Structure formats: structure tokens, C-alpha cells
Amino acid sequence: MLTPELLARYGDACIPRYTSYPTAPHFSDAVGAGDYRSWLEDLPPGDLSLYVHIPFCRKMCWYCGCHTTVSAREAPVSRYLASLTREMELVADCLPRRQGVSHLHFGGGTPTIMTAGEMRRLMAGLAARFAFAEDAEIAIEIDPRTLEPDMARALGECGFNRASLGVQSFDISVQRAINRVQSLNCTEAAVSLLRANGVQRVNLDLVYGLPFQTVGSCRETVEQCLTLRPDRLAVFGYAHVPAFKPHQRKIDGASLPDSESRFAQSRAIHEALSNAGYVQIGLDHFALPDDPLAIAARAGRLHRNFQGYTTDSADVLIGLGASSIGRLPQGFVQNAVAIPAYQEAIERGDLPVARGYRLSGEDRLRGAVIERLMCDHQVDLGRVCAPFGADPAKLLDTASLGPLMVDGLVEVNGTRLSVPRHARQLIRSVAAAFDAYLARGEAKHSRAV
């Protein structure tokens, strides 16, 4: 059982979400556009994944931790899309062949801020340069408050088959405190519009730990979400980092719940979704039992990347757009975050990479251990170490594992390490035991619960 003492000890710790290893704060300008170009040129045959970042919104949500900016005009978005199209061409020119694509994800910001015509042209450009698999997952993040019928039609025509809609909370007092008022009716209208146009798979995103949020309001939000019968739900803890996201200063820190309350909210959401028949996936996702994500989890084929839990097994992820992160066999690359810097690089004809990270064998080993823990709540260190020729005993000798075992957060049987069910919401704390960079890094991360 997680006691208040354990929650206070581990829950307040600032720990990465481990959507990559090493995590983005450890990237540097030691890796640049030249490295990325050579990595692209050396890619082997096989399907890859694409991520497209659209860093614009009509209005800023004060809880937001994404790289985005507010624009009330169309011109900045259109200029950005022109740069994005040019980046697409620059990347495709570096590839040794027309690569296949198994997954495409549009994130933001609000990707549907562009016009329907711009979406059609952007998708046509991608299809001309990459070979999409017939069963490719083509997904997009959507703000239900701004979805228009012509965009929903364009999404269906362009082959989108999954949409993630932000909900966060339906409690009006919470919504006002985070500057995002969004009714159930508005959300239901967007879901209906998408499904009517062929975008059948719908995900909803919820957040706990928001200002004025309560266990009761969390349960009520879940009940309202269930009327929409989403295929998946993601349940995230709010990360309050006003030093990095100045707009979060508009949120009164005194209105935020403490670790014990955050845990109670998280547990209430998890219990409500489990009681409704959803299967918990990893740390913070839920899916219907017949959803591909649930099937992958049962088969031990779940993966984790910058979009969270996924069925995507591709070794290569190409990021397009300002701030996008790509993953290749050799390492990670990240584009310039600031839109002007990104566009200036594109105008020079350069790949807009600002920083990255070249992976070592040790990085790959630790990354594999952390991914299995985050996905399966257990890991067979012997099995993971074998392909690397590594000794699992050295990993088990990690000093920070001892306190976790004493506190009942970890069980070890031979080379198999597992996290008991009652401790799974602290899985990031267990994964952190294998992070060789966390102790000496100065990066700020979100709280463990």
C-alpha cells in the first residue's frame, strides 16, 4: 500500500516521463544538421514513422506545456506551412529511397488551425514523398472548440483514422482557472463530426492535479467522457513549471492539489475507467479490450515514444516542424524551437536541426530497460542485456534500487524485476533508478504523481 509518507517521498520528486532515453534536456548542439543528413542518407529499408508539429493555437491554455504560440491571423500559419513543406522536401532528398510509413501523427498546438485546403495540400505533399502503408495509422490532435465541418471532411478524405481530443476536465471552475472553457456538448459535437466523416477511432485526454480539481469532479468528468465511448483515454498529471512556461504563472499555485490529493484524483480516474471496462496501458493510458493498444500490451509488444504509449515498432521517427524531435538508429535530433530560427534555416536550404544526441551502447541498453518498465511494469534484465553482451548483475547493483525494494515498490526474482500493482503509479520512480543522467542533470521535470 502507498502510504502518505511514501507518496510524499516519491510523489513530489521531479522525474522525466521517459518518452525517450536519454531525455530531451540532455540533447546538445554537438549533434547538428550535418549529422542528421548523414544519418538520413544511411537509413536502411523499412517503414518509418512521421511526426508533424503545428505550433499555433487560437488561444493559450494556461496549463499547457507544449511548444506553441497564439495567432489570430492566417498569414503566420500559411508561412509556416510553406516552410514545413520545404523541410519535407529537404528531408526526402536526403533519403536513399522513398521510405514506407506505418504511422503519421500531427501534434501541436492545434494542427486543425490550418484551412481544409492547406491540410489537403500538406497531405498530398507527404504522400508524394513517402509510401504510406495501407493500414498506416494516421492520427491528429484536435481542439474540439475550433473543429469546423470542412476540416472534418478533409481529414476523412485524407485518410486520417484516429483523433485525440483534449478534454482535461469538464468542471467549469477548473476550466475557468486554466483558461479553457469547453462543454460536453461541444466535445460531443466534434466526436460526432469526426465519426461521420470516417475518423472512427477517438482518444480523449484527461488531466488531474489542476487548480480547484477534486476527486468528485474527476469522477464526474470520466462519467461524461464515457457517454462518448472513446477508444482510448490518456490520463496525465499536470506539470506546473512556470519557470519554463511563463503563461503558467497565471495559475495560482495555492489552488493546486498536493501530492496526496493528486494521487487520490489519479486513482479515482483509474478506478472509474477500469470499472467501465477499459484496460490500463502502462502508466497513464486506457483502452477498450479490443483496441490495438490493449492487444499490443497483452502480447508484450507495447512501445513508448514522444506521443506516449503506442503500437509503433518502427526504429525511425522523423520529426517535421519547429521543435520536432526525430529518432534514428544513431540517435536523436531536434529542430529549432523558435519559429523564426526554424524558418531561417529552411530559407537557407538547411535542415533546421538545433541539437541532438548520439547514442552509445550503454544508452541503448538503459533505454531498453526503461521502456520495458514503463510499458510492462516489469523487465527481465537477463533477456534485455543478452543482445548487448551486458551483465544484468551490474544493473541490479544500481544503488537506488535498494530503497525502492525496502519501500515495497520493486520486487526482484533472479534477473526479473517487477513493480507490484499497488506501486505502479510510481513506475517513473523505478525507471529513474536506471537513468544514468538524472542525478547530474539540472533539467526540470514533472512530479512523479
Give residue limits of the domains in the chain: 1-25+360-449, 26-320
1-25+360-449 has which fold?
Arc Repressor Mutant, subunit A (1.10.10)
Among 43, 143, 132, CA closest to 91 = 43
Give the lowest-confidence range in 12-26, 89-103, 315-329, 377-391.
12-26
Residue indicated by cell numbers 500538406? 122
Determine phi and psi for 318, rounding to 5 degrees: -100, 125
**What is the average pLDDT across 119-142?**
97
Q: What pLDDT is recorded for position 449?
A: 54
Q: Is the peptide bond before 46 cis (omega within 30 degrees of 0)?
A: no
Among 314, 270, 298, 311, CA closest to 49 = 314
pLDDT in tens, 237-260: 998 888 888 999 999 889 999 888
Range list of β-strands (E), 129-192: 131-142, 162-168
pLDDT in tens, 328-371: 999 999 999 999 999 999 999 999 999 999 999 999 999 999 99
- Give the 3-state secondary structure of residue 205: strand
pLDDT in tens, 192-232: 999 999 999 999 999 999 999 999 999 999 999 999 999 99
Predicted confidence band at 445 (pLDDT cuts at 50, 70, 90)? low
Contact (Cβ atoms closer than 8 angstroms) between residue 145 and residue 92 = no
Predicted confidence band at 444 (pLDDT cuts at 50, 70, 90)? low
- Per CATH, the homologous superfamily of domain 26-320 is tm_1862 like domain (3.80.30.20)
- On the question of pLDDT at 132 being above 90, the answer is yes
